[in-house]
């Protein structure tokens, strides 16, 4: 446990999806690399080069792996349409958020011209939201329910970001992750 009693995995290789999932569930080894690798095989069993992860086997898992992993634990990742206002999200009925953002690929001090994506978990711990980006040295304070919605709204404006709302499977079916007037 890190600062404020928050579990925060730091970045290793290209395992940001694994770190985002474990940070979201606030527990080490909620998921393991071997479990995510097995999901990749299940998604594409006959592929010599699996399209759901890095060719080098270092990670870089895609959204299909994250969605399948969440389903194994009774959760769903709902892609949030950026044309909608995030103020329609009912934060009382969600586990948290996973963002996918552009990321520079560096070799030492040199930025390489590859387009990469990075997974980040945002989670409420003790009534306050935290950015649990595995590239951060420590969790970054965001604030309460209203402040996290403002944060997400600002991320939409400044980033080529994709947002996934993480909810229990039954919550997804009933759309209770949306405020009543947005359902």
Which residues are the active-site residues?
16, 118
Cβ-count burial of 183 within 10 angstroms (0-12 exposed, 13-18 middle, 19+ buried)? exposed
CB 104 within 8 A of CB 167: no
CB 53 within 8 A of CB 42: no
Cβ-count burial of 73 within 10 angstroms (0-12 exposed, 13-18 middle, 19+ buried)? middle
Q: Please tell me the distance from the alpha carbon of residue 175 to that of residue 167, in angstroms, as a whole number.
A: 10
Alpha helices in the chain (DSSP H): 16-25, 33-43, 63-72, 145-158, 169-174
């Amino acid at each position: 446990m890190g600062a404020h009693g928050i579990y925060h995995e730091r970045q290793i290789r290209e395992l940001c999806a694994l770190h985002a999932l474990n940070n979201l569930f606030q527990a080490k080894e909620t998921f393991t690399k071997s479990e995510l690798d097995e999901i990749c095989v299940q998604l594409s069993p006959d592929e010599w080069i699996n399209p759901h992860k890095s060719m080098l086997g270092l990670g870089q898992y895609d959204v299909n792996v994250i969605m399948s992993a969440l389903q194994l634990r009774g959760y769903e990742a709902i892609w949030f349409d950026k044309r909608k206002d995030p103020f329609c999200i009912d934060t009382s009925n969600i586990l948290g958020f996973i963002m996918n953002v552009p990321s520079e690929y560096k070799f030492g001090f040199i930025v390489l011209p590859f387009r990469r994506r990075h997974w980040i978990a945002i989670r409420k711990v003790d009534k306050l939201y935290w950015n649990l980006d595995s590239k951060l040295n420590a969790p970054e304070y965001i604030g309460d329910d209203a402040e996290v919605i403002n944060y997400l709204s600002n991320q939409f404006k400044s980033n080529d970001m994709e947002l996934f709302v993480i909810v229990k499977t039954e919550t997804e079916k009933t759309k209770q992750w949306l405020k009543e007037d947005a359902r």
